[in-house]
Structure 1
């Protein structure tokens, strides 16, 4: 089952139009949300990020598209599919079809899909830097749009070279994120992550980890520009996304990393309440 504009439809009966603007122009946004025993995790954070992103790209937000409405649409789908069968929900919002680069309307439609995705933390997690193409720095790159061709190509490159993920860099050769997660570096008692203006996704898990770090006086936290050389010098590296939570990195090229702090933060992340 899928939820299409509030109507619950069998997957087999649902067909996306060839004129869908998300398909034709990448004119869409999405949120991937973790579900545990039917409970929707960090719903408010996902909702407000989606609303802010829609405003940034001039989508018209319907008056009815409130937080309660958003929660109800997700919950209805989870109940129908079955709580035991859902660990991940993807919500996609796109402009109504019509027009070319300039849309005929800024009104939106939405699609919500539910699935069971096992994403366990790996004991070994190897990364390298992807250098063939760059992320454009700036706030537009912080949005979770469906235009993720760079992430796709970098993920293929990682698979071909037997890496678990590739690190993306921007045009200034600064580290941005990995192809599927935000990235954090640990050096001594300082934990750093790329600043948003360097082009990283404004991740919900990233936000939660930052909140944890800012409350813990034993760490100094910084959002700053990070070079590939900083990656080599780090004591630890870990990545975050909404589904996996915290994944410690074990190796970058010839450098092996400790995972103590990453595992500690993973435990704290998993202990966070859903709301």
Structure 2
């Protein structure tokens, strides 16, 4: 079961017209959220990112698009799938329904909420660690659109083939200045000279919810975090590397090429996050 514009329907009943702007132009964005029984994790950060994305992509925002409206529809979707007692991955897709070519004839907004069960409630370390390399085939632009989770993720798709070809777990994206931006699965943090460094939003990285949460709570968690550009040489000098997203919290990188890393900060952050959720 899914929630389409506030109504619960069977997913088999949902379809998109062949002229839909989402299919033709990727005119939309999505939000991925983790739910555990009786709680939507990091909801405030998700809600403000949703509203910011709607504004930046120039959607007409209905007056009723408040926090309680989305919480009600998320919970309704979870209940309709009988998943309220389980951890759940929630995806909310927003797109423009309007006809027209690149310029919409009107600015009609639709949204769709879907969910699927996850295996565990608490976050845990990926004990095997990730093997990663740099994806050089295509570079990310230095613009604020890349901060959004837009529906055009073709670079992520192509990078998955690169991962298979290289027999690695994940890869790193670079921007037009050849700085490291993020991984295909989340934001990057490196431990260098006793600081956790993550690229600034100006680098073209996703404005990730977990990234933002760690930065905003760095004093509470006793973390020294800097937003600075990361070069490929920094990867060889770093003591630790991990990726962040709300589904996994932290994904520890074991090695970049022949360079290996420890995981002490990854473990520390996972434990701290688990204590507050």
CA-CA distance at 1:19 after TM superposition: 2.1
TM-score normalised by structure 2 residue count: 0.94
**Distance across 2 between alignment mates of 1:272 and 1:174:** 34
> 1:100 maps to which residue?
101
Q: Which moved more, 1:11-20 or 1:256-265?
A: 11-20
TM-score normalised by structure 1 residue count: 0.94
3-state secondary structure, aligned to 2:113: strand
The answer for unaligned runs of 5 or more in structure 2 is none
CA RMSD of aligned residues (A): 1.5
1:4-83 mapped onto 2 (5 Å cutoff): 4-82=4-82, 83=84
The answer for unaligned runs of 5 or more in structure 1 is none
**Distance across 1 between alignment mates of 2:108 and 2:81:** 28
Count of aligned positions = 272
**Distance across 1 between alignment mates of 2:227 and 2:135:** 22
CA-CA distance at 1:187 after TM superposition: 1.6
CA-CA distance at 1:134 after TM superposition: 0.5
**Distance across 2 between alignment mates of 1:271 and 1:106:** 43
**Distance across 2 between alignment mates of 1:112 and 1:196:** 27
Q: Deviations over 1:151-210 (max 9, x none)?
A: 111122112322111000001101110011000000232110000000000000111121
3-state secondary structure, aligned to 2:134: strand
> 2:185 maps to which residue?
180
Residue 237 (structure 2) pairs with residue 212 (structure 1): no
Q: Which moved more, 1:84-93 or 1:182-191?
A: 84-93
Q: Deviations over 1:198-226 (max 9, x none)?
A: 00000001111213323345x43210111
Q: Deviations over 1:54-88 (max 9, x none)?
A: 11111111111111101111010111111246510
3-state secondary structure, aligned to 1:15: coil
> 1:159 maps to which residue?
164
